Amino acid sequence: MSMAQIQSGRRKRERENPNAGVGGGAVERSTQGGSPARGHRASARTPWQIPRDSTGNSAVSNHVIFERLYEAVEPPVRATAASAGFDLRAWFAKDTLDVWAGDARTPRILEGSAGARILPLAPGDRAVIPLGFRATLPHGIEAQVRARSGTALKLGLILANGPGTIDPDYTGEWGVLVLNASSAAVRIAHGDRIAQLVLARFEVLAFVPGPVVQSTERAGGFGSTGTR
């Protein structure tokens, strides 16, 4: 068969099936024009059709599927080309947010108006800061949520569960569990970079019963090797 015949047959197949050759099937999403309104719920749209393998896991191995929950929410980005972490920004779409002080949970009214809301946190306060989006991670990838070094040093704003883990099967809105570890009030404004996200591969292994034996010269636990 000549090269001309091969190319003619390929063009015919592409006309009959435009999605042929797209790994995992075509991914489609409808878009709407117009200027987005900050803090407004995203209008109805055709959801992402996530390609999945025979076990139901995401077949997209090198992409994170991002779905904004409000117009104008943008995907996380890295500050530099060599940055490992993606910056996460606060997105206050509502005028109240639950805050924990000790074991007490109370709704707190945010200061300011839509698009410019501010959450004040007293020393010791904890809150889950919403990010305004949700996402699907590839199978075998976790999203590690970590504190930003500058924010932790200058403001004392850290993660109460740092680093936090977002699993591949979590489908709700992403959020950051922050803690004001300083002795002064901290104010988080809409759009502030409050944490960073690092993607990491993980392994799943089975636990089997058996004896644990010493395989090296190490003995003991915390502090067993000394400080010097």
Taking 60 as the threshold, does the pLDDT of residue 161 lie above it? Answer: yes
Other Cβ atoms less than 10 A from the Cβ of 209: the count is 4
168, 140 contact by CB (below 8 A): yes
Q: What is the per-residue pLDDT for 38? A: 46
Put simply, whether the predicted model's pTM sits higher than 0.95 gets the answer: no
Domains of the chain (ranges, CATH numbers): 68-205 (2.70.40.10)
> Which pLDDT tens digit goes with each residue over 181-226?
999 999 999 999 999 999 999 999 999 999 988 888 877 777 777 7
Q: What is the mean pLDDT of the chain?
A: 82
d(CA 215, CA 63): 40
The 3-state DSSP class for residue 4 equals helix
pLDDT given at position 222: 77
User: In the structure, what pLDDT confidence band is assigned to residue 42 with cuts at 50, 70 and 90?
Assistant: low
Alpha-carbon distance of 158 to 85, in angstroms, equals 16
Cα(110)–Cα(128) distance, rounded to whole angstroms?
A: 14
- Which tens digits make up the pLDDT trace of 44-84? 444 445 556 666 665 556 899 999 999 999 999 999 999 99
The larger pLDDT score, comparing residue 151 to residue 6, is at 151
- What pLDDT sits at residue 118? 98
pLDDT for 226 equals 76
